[in-house]
Amino acid sequence: MPGKERGAGGPLAGIRVLDVSIMAAGPWTGALLGMLGAEVIKVEPPAGDGTRWVMPTQKGMGTNFISMNVNKKNMTLDLKRSDDRAAALALLGTCDVFVQNFRGGVIERLKLDYESVRAVSPRLIYCSISGFGETGPLSKAGCADPIMQAFSGFARANGAPGEGVEAFRFTGFIDLTTAAVATEAILAALLEREQTGAGQKVEISMLEAALEIQYTRIAELLGAGLVPVPRGSASPALAPDRAYAALDRYIFLTVHSDHEWSKFCAAIEQPTLAADPRFLTNQSRVENREALDAAIEPVLQSRPAIWWLRVLQRHGVAAGLAHDFETFRHHAQVIDNEMIARLDTLHWGEISVGGVPWHFSRTPCVVRPPATPGENSEEILAGLPTVAASGRAGRSDA
């Protein structure tokens, strides 16, 4: 941005963000902005963000809290107190972006809704993250990642064949997607502000993010009438395209075209399959996927996965092995691209988190350890003259 300090801290150096969000979608939005170089200040209530205690923990601190609050300063404010709320408003006057994900009605009671905040900072980009959106019968309903997987139809299309409902049972699948969508919107709003000088409110919901990552499914249903059903690792649109058991472990492979099908048959030394009328086209292979699998499964089970990986890659067929994180983190591809960041912290020892997902040639990004809860409260408040004069900076809420 014109007039902003730039350098090795990332392309958003000079942008200041106030993050009062909790749990996952909001905090990860703040972390992404921080990794992009913004100065991000996380505000926690005296009781703390609930992810502090979510298992697993590392020396008493939830690993989810640690990983989703990298590249942030941390301060404690009780936004139910009038003086702390005044401090937050004063701080917002110095910020470019505000991120909040309170349930509908709460932010209004705290008098930190968009209209109240805009009066203090008309150039502010106000990012409001909700579960179901800010209008409609569910606008004030609580939400969580598994709930949204179910509501959005995502859970019903996943799982093993024959199963009814299967959610992705790791923390934050749709939460993290929501954060990525929110970050895109914030960056777009910042760019628009450079043209007009005006801030605006940006609304993001978990429901819309869940639909965003299902755009192809929606098109399949509404355009082609294809009803998604659980297929395990198999694709509904391509065959073969799934995980197959080799002699020692699973290998994932994808045949994208009829030309690749011929190359696949050559790789597994089954030329007669290439001429089988049941498998000549992708459409016919999808329609006859059970017969197709019955033909190729015994062949793939005859040799180790790494053998097939090399043979398939040599024939130009996309294939990969299923790693666990202990093998993935030591893979040369991951190490060479710095995809895992190892950080030393004073209170939690060495931690490992994901590396930055972007690589900028002129403004490279870094991952910095998260602050401890309340670590920067006095420093931040002391920089606000009206707050320092009132004596608020000397009160400890931790």
Residue 187 DSSP SS3? helix
Laid out side by side, the sheet with 200-205 consists of 72-76, 39-44, 16-19, 97-100, 125-130, 200-205
Task: Please compute the mean of the pLDDT values over residues 304-315 and round it to a whole number.
Answer: 96
**265-275: pLDDT as tens digits:** 999 999 999 99
Instruction: Report the Cα 291 to chain-centroid distance in Å.
Output: 38
Global pTM?
0.86
Q: What percent of the chain has pLDDT over 90?
A: 60
Q: What is the pLDDT of residue 373?
A: 87
Q: What is the pLDDT of residue 395?
A: 47
**247-302: pLDDT as tens digits:** 999 999 999 999 999 999 999 999 999 999 999 999 999 999 999 999 999 999 99
Across 26-40, 52-66, 156-170, the highest mean pLDDT is recorded for 26-40
Task: Please compute the mean of the pLDDT values over residues 177-196 and round it to a whole number.
Answer: 97
Is 96's pLDDT higher than 60?
yes
Angle value at C-alpha 125, between 120 and 126, nearest 5 degrees: 80
Task: Please compute the mean of the pLDDT values over residues 182-208 and round it to a whole number.
Answer: 97
| Residues pairing with 334 in the sheet | none
Confidence of residue 392 (pLDDT cuts 50, 70, 90): low
What is the C-alpha separation between 115 and 123, in angstroms, rounded? 12
Q: Which residues 6+ apart lie within 8 Å of 386 measured at CB?
A: 90
What is the C-alpha separation between 250 and 244, in angstroms, rounded? 5
Domains of the chain: 16-213+356-394 (3.40.50.10540)
Is 27's pLDDT higher than 60?
yes
DSSP string, 312-347: HHHTT-EEEE---HHHHTT-HHHHHTT-EEEEEETT
Q: Which helix (H) or strand (E) holds 387?
A: helix 385-390
241 close to 254: Cβ distance less than 8 angstroms: yes
Tokens 């007669």 sit on residue? 272
Length of the chain: 398
**324-367: pLDDT as tens digits:** 888 888 889 988 998 999 998 888 888 889 899 999 999 999 99
Q: Which of 75-84, 117-126, 217-226 has the lowest mean pLDDT?
A: 217-226
Tell which wins on pLDDT, 289 or 54: 289
Q: What is the pLDDT of residue 397?
A: 42
